[in-house]
Amino acid sequence: DTAVSQTPKYLVTQMGNDKSIKCEQNLGHDTMYWYKQDSKKFLKIMFSYNNKELIINETVPNRFSPKSPDKAHLNLHINSLELGDSAVYFCASSHGGSTIETQYFGPGTRLLVL
Amino acid sequence: GEDVEQSLFLSVREGDSSVINCTYTDSSSTYLYWYKQEPGAGLQLLTYIFSNMDMKQDQRLTVLLNKKDKHLSLRIADTQTGDSAIYFCAEKGNTDKLIFGTGTRLQVFP
């Protein structure tokens, strides 16, 4: 009965590869997000989707492409992985448009690029 | 631009109170949040406060908001070893995105 789930939990890959991280929420939320947490624990938003439409796109390299097949899923595809992409990637979701806008986070995907 | 700052470390003795501070710059903040991150885990929402409130209490947690000074604090009463974690404050302005602070690593020793 996990609210926000991510797969895989750990991902170790070589520089230059292409990888995807998947996120699913069963909370019935309309809005989903991707955040990146670097080695110093700084958390920063990357993308936000509302009902499958992109609404926030921070300054993120074009190698990162989010895809939302339906409002319960938001996947993150990364092309040509670089060493600096090593981080923990968190997915989150919220109602979107509600007064509280509390975001619920997934457990994170730990990406290590070698 | 929006900026949220926290002190990086706090060390307290078990049973004492912990106070974690946060300052932010966005005057249009509507909600402010405290999240907890245990080692190797995701972020857990602890509590939130609406920007027109001064204080919110929830069991051992007390949130104080000074909107004039753009200062937010989280007080944990009777701190336990299980409270050891990184605590993030976050603010939400007019957009859907959360701006997170740098995180405060709380260490509780016996």
- The DSSP output letter for A17 is -
CB contact under 8 A, A100 and B98: no
Residue B18 reports pLDDT greater than 60: yes
DSSP string, B64-100: EEETTTTEEEEEESS--GGG-EEEEEEEE-SSSPEEE
Contacts of B44 in chain A (CB under 8 A): 105
Which of B43, B45, B52, B53 should be substituted to probe chain A, the one whose Cβ sees the most A Cβ atoms within 10 Å?
Answer: B43
Highest mean pLDDT among A52-66, B35-49, B75-89: B75-89
- HEC sequence for A22-79: EEEECCCCCEEEEEEECCCCCEEEEEEEECCEEEEECCCCCCEEEEEEECCEEEEEEC
Which sign, positive or negative, has the C-alpha torsion A99, A2, A63, A68?
A: negative
What pLDDT shows up at residue A2? 67
Chosen for mutation from A41, A42, A51 (greatest number of chain B CBs closer than 10 Å) is: A41
Q: In this model, does residue B15 exceed pLDDT 90?
A: yes
Phi then psi for residue A85, to 5 deg, are -80, -10
Query: What are the distances in angstroms from CA B91 to CA A56, A76, A89, A104?
Result: 16, 24, 20, 15
CB pairs A-B closer than 8 Å: 54
Does pLDDT of B25 surpass 90? no
Which amino acid is present at A28? G
To the nearest whole Å, the CA of A91 is away from the closest chain B CA by: 10
Of residues B10 and B96, the one with the higher pLDDT is B10
How close does chain B come to A94, measured CA to CA in Å?
A: 9
Mean pLDDT rounded to a whole number for chain B:
91
pLDDT greater than 80 at residue B93: no
> Hey, what amino acid is at A27?
L
Q: Is the dihedral of CA B26, B27, B30, B31 positive or negative?
A: positive
Instruction: Flag whether pLDDT at B3 surpasses 80.
Output: yes
**B17 has pLDDT over 90:** yes
User: pLDDT value at position A106?
Assistant: 92
| Distance separating the N- and C-terminal Cα atoms of chain A | 34
* pLDDT over 70 percentage in chain B: 96
Say which range, A64-78, A98-112, B31-45, B66-80, has the weakest mean pLDDT. Answer: A98-112
Give the pLDDT band of residue B29 (cuts 50, 70, 90).
Answer: confident
CB atoms A108 and B41 under 8 Å: yes
Residue-level pLDDT at A98: 53
How confident is the model over A43-69, as pLDDT tens digits? 888 988 888 888 887 878 899 999 999
**Residue B34: band (very low, low, confident or very high) from pLDDT cuts 50, 70, 90:** very high
Parts of chain A with a pLDDT under 70: 1-2, 96-101
Q: If residue A13 lies in a helix (H) or strand (E), which one and from where to where? A: strand A10-13
Task: Give strand pairing partners of A99.
Answer: none
Give the gyration radius of chain A's Cα atoms: 13
Phi, psi of B83 (to 5 degrees): -85, -10
> What pLDDT was estimated at residue B96?
67
* The pLDDT of residue A16: 97
Mark which residues 8-37 of A lie under 8 Å from B by CB: 31, 33, 35
User: CA dist B13 to A33, B75, B80, B81, Å?
Assistant: 37, 14, 8, 9
Residue B1 pLDDT class (50, 70, 90 cuts): low
